[in-house]
């Protein structure tokens, strides 16, 4: 019964798609994760362009693409949280669970 359920017994740390916020942030600093997100979210641009980008520039481009999906009414990700969009498609994040 829900009356016996104690919220204090649950790890209250913020999570994104079952990842702790710390693990999610660490994953987004990994080059292989950024490259996987660029590929899986189909961020517009040529591979040579992405190779020349810094990790911060890559993450900004990824977040712009996620925001585009979030704002597009016909998108599966319409009105979804950007961090949820980023955490869901990447198989590269599995190693951080």
Q: Read off the pLDDT of residues 3-12 as tens digits, 9 standing for 90 and up.
A: 444 444 445 5
For residues 31 and 75, what is the distance between their CA atoms, to the nearest angstrom? 27
DSSP conformational letter for 88: T
Tell me the percentage of the chain whose pLDDT exceeds 90.
33
Q: Which two tokens stand for residue 8?
A: 């204090």
Collapsing DSSP to helix, strand or coil, 54 comes out as coil
Do the strands 19-20 and 15-16 form a parallel or antiparallel pair, or are they unpaired?
Answer: antiparallel
pTM (whole model) above 0.85: no
Concatenated DSSP letters of 14-53? -EETTEEHHHHHHHTT-HHHHHHHHHHTT-SS-HHHHHTS
The predicted pLDDT at position 3 comes to 44
What band does 58 get if pLDDT is binned at 50, 70 and 90?
Answer: very high
């Amino acid at each position: 019964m829900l009356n016996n359920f104690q919220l204090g017994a649950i790890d209250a740390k913020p999570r994104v798609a079952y990842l702790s916020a710390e693990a999610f942030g660490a994953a987004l600093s990994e080059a292989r994760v950024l490259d996987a997100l660029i590929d899986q979210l189909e961020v517009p641009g040529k591979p040579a362009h992405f190779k020349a980008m810094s990790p911060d520039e890559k993450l900004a481009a990824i977040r712009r693409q996620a925001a585009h999906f979030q704002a597009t009414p016909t998108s599966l990700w319409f009105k979804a949280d950007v961090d949820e969009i980023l955490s869901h498609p990447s198989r590269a994040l599995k190693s951080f669970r």
